[in-house]
Amino acid sequence: MKKTILALAAALLATPASPNTLIDNVNGIQVDPNGALVRFRALLIDDNGKVIRTIGANELDDLDVRRRIDEHGQTLLPGFVDAHGHVMELGRDALQLDLVGTRSLAELQQRLGDYAAAHPEAKWILGAGWNQELWPDKKFPTAAELDSIVPDRPVVLERVDGHALVANSAAMRGAGVTPQTPAPVGGEITDGVFVDNAKALINQAIPAPTQADMDQAFAKAQDILLGFGVTGVGSMSTSLDDWNTFRRAGDAGTLKVRLMVYLLGLDPLKVVPHPTPWLYDDRLRAVGVKFFADGALGSRGAWLKQPYSDAPGTTGNRLHSDADLRSQEDAAAAARFQLATHAIGDAANAQVISAYEWLDSKYGLNRRWRIEHAQVVDCTDLLRIGHGHMIASMQPTHQTSDRLMAEKRLGLGRLKCAYAWQSMLRTGAKLAFGTDFPVESPNPFPGLSAAISRQDINGQPPGGWLPAERLTFEQALGAYTRGAAYAGFAEDKIGALEPGRWADFIIVDRDPTKDERQSLARAQVIETWIAGKRVWSRAPSASPTERGQ
Ligand SMILES: [Zn+2]
């Protein structure tokens, strides 16, 4: 007892009078509550990792702080919040064999051989990203061509669009597929290539990931996100296994990125029946439920009011009747969850808006119903999004990736209110930006650049695509920080470096307000800090000078 008191007294004596940290000599940039850009030259943090205040250029520096960290004039931004990403898929994909950009069968075989040699522990070799259209002869790969590289272990490699895979003989044996196996309706099998509905024959045989696999994938995902300066994520389509993985990381003290979790449909509610409080020092919270109203534009799964311009026989995939969508969403809303519904086509967006209006009449206007993507909206429906105080959760890099494909699918006439960021803001809707990683890279800078230019990383098209929808830099940064935090009911915790919020911030290699757009897209993160602690750094040798007392 006496010993304890002595130790306590010693600890009290050792605590300095001003137990704060000053991140000093920075080019600090953020967006204020009114959407204006503000600058500061230092950031004062308490010992719990929360912001005390920012310090402006003309404020006197007579602060008595214990620790002063000189960042040598580098640019400091709030940590990015990606409103819509798929965390476990990001990690899983990064650990698998990456075949994106292969220019020939020989290159695919080379990468496969290297990966197999480097991963003797992998019982099944899984990969994705090949596209035979980029190869000289445009021929699909075959089972025999994989067997010649890996004969003894199953290999399954998905095509870049996810609509086909190629399997080697060991994988087909493992799946019980023989030359006599018929292709199911809506599928095709040719020399080890399984298309659409036939893919399930192989996929059902792939062993489910173990807890250790999932822990490894999550660790990888966090590492990637921190390297891009993403400190918070709206974790979309979260399964119970995913949720349990996040919990294990929280329990083990390895959860770093703050996750606002959207459970996938109603099933997980059997185990997580209501939104949880924030767990692990505001790093994890189940906040909402994710639904799908339609598919995607590329595969003509987006549900349109009028037929596709390049496929007049179809209007895409409607996934729910109006009554079905309402009743499922009503069940989640009644359990106090926020709703986030995927809607790409104009018919899907109209259906979701109507469902939300109906839910508003029941639950009031303060529930922040989210439309995920809100890509192609009929201009007559756009105002309803603002009137309903809904959140448009959008991804600027989808616009630059989809542009040419969207013109083919819809024709320019129907694109007036597509990817309509500026129009969306004008309706009064809240805008939350993200990337939908791993569909797009989680790197927020190409998105910021696209948002203000409507041009891709190569500056295409000149002048920007439908340039009236361009945002100002502060609007775009706001959607990627404050807006995304608001969209997850986390604006009192993250998204801005203001008193009482977490000191989640990044140091980047250039001033994003000064550089030309193409340069902004290539900006790199140098350090990432969460709760006042540096959790990622590009080069250990480039670490800032620290002075303690
Ligand atoms: Zn998504």
Q: Could you read off the pLDDT of 438-463 as tens digits, one per residue?
A: 888 999 999 999 999 999 988 899 99
Cα angle 426, 427, 431 (rounded to 5 degrees) comes to 75
* pLDDT tens by residue, 264-287: 999 999 999 999 999 999 999 999
The alpha carbon of 161 and the centre of ligand 1 are apart by a number of angstroms equal to: 15
Asked if residue 280 lies in contact with residue 256, where contact means CB atoms within 8 angstroms, the answer is: no
- State the distance from the centre of ligand 1 to the C-alpha of 268, rounded, in angstroms: 18
10-53 residue pLDDT tens: 444 444 446 799 999 999 999 999 999 999 999 999 999 999 99
**Which ranges of 259-378 does DSSP label H, i.e. alpha helix?**
322-334, 346-363
Q: What is the pTM of this model?
A: 0.89
Å from CA of 345 to ligand 1 middle:
15
Give residue 88 CA to ligand 1 midpoint distance, Å. 12
In this prediction, residue 366 has a pLDDT band, given cuts at 50, 70 and 90, of: confident
pLDDT higher than threshold 50 for residue 110: yes
pLDDT category at 547 given cuts 50, 70, 90 is: low
Residue 548 banded pLDDT, cuts 50, 70, 90: very low
pLDDT at residue 512 tops 50 = yes
Say which residue, 518 or 321, is predicted with more confidence: 321
Ligand 1 mean position, distance from CA 196 (Å)? 20
Cα–ligand 1 centroid distance for 397 (angstroms) = 13
Higher pLDDT, 163 or 263: 263
| pLDDT given for residue 23 in this prediction | 96
Cα–ligand 1 centroid distance for 458 (angstroms): 25
3-state SS, residue 310: coil
Cα 46 to averaged position of ligand 1 atoms, centre (Å): 36
What percent of the chain lies above the pLDDT cut of 90? 83
pLDDT at 429 over 90: yes
CA distance 545 to 72: 8
Report the chain's mean pLDDT, rounded to a whole number. 92
Q: What is the whole-number distance in angstroms between the Cα of residue 51 and the centre of ligand 1?
A: 32
User: If pLDDT is split at 50, 70 and 90, which confidence band does 104 have?
Assistant: very high
Please report the pLDDT score of residue 546 as a whole number: 54
CA-to-CA distance for 287 and 284, rounded, in angstroms? 9
- How many angstroms is it from 495 CA to the middle of ligand 1? 21
CA of 419 to the centre of ligand 1 (A): 15
Whole-number pLDDT of residue 160 = 82
Query: How far away, in angstroms, is 451 Cα from ligand 1 center?
Result: 19
Q: Do β-strands 284-292 and 258-264 pair in parallel, antiparallel, or remain unpaired?
A: parallel
> Ligand 1 centre from 436 Cα, in Å?
5
List C-alpha distances in Å: 502 to 40, 495, 496, 498.
17, 9, 8, 8
What number is the average pLDDT over the span 122-145?
93
Residue 398 CA to ligand 1 center (angstroms) comes to: 11
Distance 292 CA to ligand 1 centre (A): 10
Distances (CA, A) of 205 to 153, 176, 257, 368, 508: 13, 8, 33, 41, 45
pLDDT of residue 89: 92
pLDDT tens across 178-231, in order? 989 999 887 889 999 998 889 999 999 999 999 999 999 999 999 999 999 999
Per-residue model confidence (pLDDT) at position 517: 67
Centre of ligand 1 to C-alpha 86, Å, is 6
Q: Ligand 1 center to residue 456 CA distance, Å?
A: 20
- Output 543 or 287, whichever has higher pLDDT: 287
For residues 468 and 543, give the distance between their C-alpha atoms in angstroms, rounded to a whole number: 42
Cβ-Cβ contacts under 8 Å for 41 (sequence gap 6 or more): 24, 25, 26, 27, 28, 55, 56, 57, 59
Which sign does the torsion angle of CA 296, 196, 236, 435 carry? negative
The CA 540 to ligand 1 mean position distance, Å, reads: 34
Question: What is the Å distance from ligand 1's center to 435 Cα?
Answer: 8
* pLDDT at residue 291 is higher than 60: yes
DSSP 112-167: HHHHHHH-TT-SSEEEEEE-GGGSTT-PPP-HHHHHTT-SSS-EEEEETTSSEEEE
**How many residues comprise the chain?**
549
* Per-residue pLDDT at 146: 98
